[in-house]
Chain A
Amino acid sequence: MAEPLPLEVRDVVKSFGSRRALEGVTLDVRAGEILGLLGPNGAGKTTVVRSVVGRAQPESGSLRVFGQAPIHPTAIDSRGWVPQEIALYSLLTPRENLWTFGRYQGLVAAALEAAIDRSLEWAGLADRAKDRTSNLSGGMKRRLNMAAGTIHRPRLLLLDEPTVGVDPQSRERIYAMIGELKAQGVSLLYTTHYMEEAERLCDRIAIIDHGQIIASGTREELVHSTLGNRETITIDADAPVGPALREKLTRLGATVDGTAVRTLAEDPPRMIRELLEAFHAEKTPIRDLTLKRGSLEEVFLSLTGRELRE
């Protein structure tokens, strides 16, 4: 019999009062892969994660962690969760925090001590093990937050926006830690609203908006299925776009937002020529013109009509 998937989410519906947070979410995390759950704030990413760790109860649908319900002891032992908040005891030291969460995960004695040492090393906090957690930098706290969620060596890890508010240098360290987990064969569900993160870290990406998975696949699959061979042309005008120019650009299929003009083109050279002719005819100067191959940003824009911003 085939090994059950690390995570199976099927048609999960969840409401908070009259607000529907999840509208039938379905996704899988396969063994050893990083699945990125990409979406704007409020899209439902955290609700999916909280449902997987048993902290939110869906009204319908099913969730399975290695074939078990989220609150089954086997599921609890085999999954780890790194919440978006720094959920640590700020008065305790990193070692004491790890001892606490290690005990809560059922580790004892030598196994617990070994896990604490290993986690401190992994998070690069061995030399700060006895400092008060409140005295650590933001990046260090984030890494300790990750260590507390992985001290019991879970086979499935749920990372909920682990790089929010982190400086670029610390972000790189967190990416390196995630790389190590992947190398160890850990399966990850990684929620983020950072496009670059999803493109860089994730094997597959599920895009969520308004509580629905609107597309999923590898980056290439998403770009191809959504944008086809089209490429993005962006023009930044050096003066406000007048009504006549706006009408011409709209006729060409472009969208105008202030001085920014954007369009998807299957034949970029021809489209660029037509756009430039329109600008020239209306005597509107151009500051910048870019041509981009399909990106997740374009995919999201194309699917939702909105940009994915913080």
Chain B
Amino acid sequence: MRIHLPNSAFLGNIDPFLREFDTSEPDKLEITANKKWISVHPVVLSMVAALGQTVKPSNISCERLEATSKHYLERMGLFKFLGIKSAITITEHESAGRFIPITQINDSSALTRFITEMTPLLHLEPRHAEPIRYIVSELVRNVLEHASAKQGAVLSAQYFQKSNTIRIGIADTGVGIKQTISNAYPVKNDLEAIQLALTPGVTGTTRREGGTEYNAGAGLFFIKSIANVNRDFFMIYSGRAMYKLLKRKPNSKIKLFADPFNDRHSKEENLPFWQGTVVGIDISLDATREFSALLDLIKDTYTKAVKERKKAKYKKARFI
């Protein structure tokens, strides 16, 4: 495999980075980078780290980095995580208030511990901490419960002062959304599987309305809704498909949709195959709407979706 860290790859412009990812020779990982400047979303680092977990450290090679911003990769713990030497020396700074380095989460109790430690690490006010810990909990639990990923979830996050935004990236190398959703729904391709996974009340564990005792099929819908209401990017990539929620236009009326294809979005369905699932999200701290107000909007859409699905199954009168 070969992955190139570009000059810039954030959720708004991540598509070229995803298209360039080379999946050949899956037992090797070659990392190359822009020579001048590397400025990337944490989701990019989570992806590289997750890929690195699938090959032996001796089969990972990273070209000598020249970009002046190369220290960022070291500080985020990329080389340590991959078990390779970077030849980059940095003065370690106190991480509080700035970022969460690449972290692997393998089980439920590790997640609970991580969330407890994460909030003070990011120095968040309670109103900002609430949606962020909510998002991390739901996304990582999705990996732990559905991905069958040996390495669990690989997560990193960073605060970007200029945009006053927290950016979070979570990657796994598990079975992917199509296989999970296929347990309950017939799906033709990865994009359709992502569409279903984002639809409220749809879970790969059952087709029954209301889900199982453990899964309601609402986690991703809630997260997409948080991003939508706050006018933030949200991206999900699995198999060959990628769905990206685009920012709502300024001053546009907030409207949540059960079908993610009705939101302002972009999509790709012929990307290099990602074995597993990748999720990236931005949370703008300027725009963070009160979580409680957001729940009112979610409630209406969520229950309306169930009603409509139930209504679609009603038997019709037969007239002769």
- Are A and B physically bound partners? no
